[in-house]
Amino acid sequence: MPVPLPDPLALSAARERQSRLTKPLGSLGRLETLACRFAAWQGLAIPRRLQPAITVFAADHGVCCEGVSAYPAAVTVEMVHNFTRGGAAINVLACETGARLEVVDVGVAGVFDPVLPIVHAKVRAGSGNLLREPAMSAEECAAALEAGRRAARRAVEAGATLLIAGDMGIGNTTASACLIAALAGLDSTTVAGRGTGIDDAALARKRDIIAAALQRAADRCTSPADWLAEVGGLEIAAMAGFYLESARLGQPVLVDGFIATAAALAACRLEPATRHWLLASHCSHEQGHAPALAALELEPLVDLQLRLGEGSGAALVVPLLQAAIALHAGMATFAEAGVSDKDA
C-alpha cells in the first residue's frame, strides 16, 4: 500500500477559514500553518483535538566499549525499569499531555522478566560494534523495522492521531551520527556531539570512531538499508519502521531529537513520501541535529537546548499543537462575531 498524501481540499478549506477568523491573517504565525497542516493530515477543514501516543524503543550498542558515552551501558536496562515505574521524564510528560505510552525492548543487552509491562520484541541483545563490524545483519535490521511498524499499528489501533517515537540506548548518538553522516553526506566533525556529556578527549575519540566506521562500511553499502544495518542501531531501525508505517497509515509523526531525526532520515531515504507526514518538534543541543533537520528540509518548532531523548522534546510541543488546533476551531469568524473585516 503506497503512502497517501495529505488532503489538499482540506488544506485549502482550512486556509480559507483562517482568512475569516477575527484576527489579521498571519498574526498567529506558525500556529496558523500548523492548524492547516493538521487539517490536511486529518482530511478535515477543522481538525479534531489530537490523541498523542509515545513509543519508546530501547536497545544497546556494541560501540559503547570504545568509550563513546559518559554513562555505562548498564543504564539502558536500568532506565527501562525506570520507565515501568513511572520515574523518567517521558513518564511525566506523557501524563501531562494525556499520551498513551509504550516501551519496546528491541535490543537491550539485559534480560527482562517476561511479566515486565513492556513490549518484548528483542531482535538481538545489543548491536555489534559498528567500528569493527556491522551493527546488525540485513535480516536483523528488517526485523527491527518490522517491530517499529507493529508498534505504529498498535498506537493507531488504540486511537492515536499523533505519533511520537522516543529512544533509550546508551551509545546511540554515535550510531545516529554515523547514519546521518552516511545518508546526508556529512563529515564526522559536523555530526558528532557530546551526547550524554562526554569531555573533549572522548569527543575527539568519538569523531575518529565515526570516521573510521564510515570508512569501514563504505564498500559494503549501496543503499540506505545497507547503511542502516551497518552503522545504525536496533532502536533506530525500529523508529524508522515506526515512521514508515505511520506514514503508510496516514498519521502524522512528531519527530523528537537527534536519534529520532536519524531514524526519520533513514525512513525518508527508504520511502521519500514519508516526509509528507513528519513534523519536527525541536532542535536539540546535540551538534549534528540542525544539519540533520536541514537534510530533511524540516524546520523545528522550538529550540529549548534539550538533549535528553525519550521523545521528551516532542512531548513538550504537544500542548502547542493542541493550542493551534483549538484556536483554529474555536475562534469566531468576522461574520459570526459581527466584527468588520479589513476589506469591509
Residue written as cell 546521518?
180
Alpha helices by DSSP H, the chain: 8-20, 30-42, 74-85, 89-97, 138-157, 172-184, 188-191, 200-218, 224-231, 234-248, 258-270, 289-296, 312-330, 334-337
Q: Are 265 and 56 in contact (CB under 8 A)?
A: no
C-alpha cell at 100: 498513551
Backbone φ, ψ for residue 322 (5° rounding) = -60, -40
User: How far is residue 195's CA from residue 65's CA, in Å, rounded to a whole number?
Assistant: 15
N residues, the chain: 344
C-alpha cell at 277: 507526514
SS3 content of the chain, % helix, strand, coil (to 5): 55, 10, 35
Alpha helices by DSSP H, 89-233: 89-97, 138-157, 172-184, 188-191, 200-218, 224-231
Whether residue 157 lies in the annotated active site: no
The DSSP call for residue 107 is E
Backbone φ, ψ for residue 167 (5° rounding) = -130, 150
Q: Which among 7, 44, 35, 166 has a CA at the least distance from the CA of 99?
A: 166
Alpha helices by DSSP H, 43-137: 74-85, 89-97
Burial state string for 270-305 with b = 16 or more CB within 10 A and e = fewer than 16: bbeebbbbbbbbbbbbbbbbbebbebbebebbeeee
Residues 6 or more apart in contact with residue 98 via CB below 8 angstroms: 52
> Among the options 32, 140, 245, 310, which is catalytic?
310
The catalytic site residues sit at 310
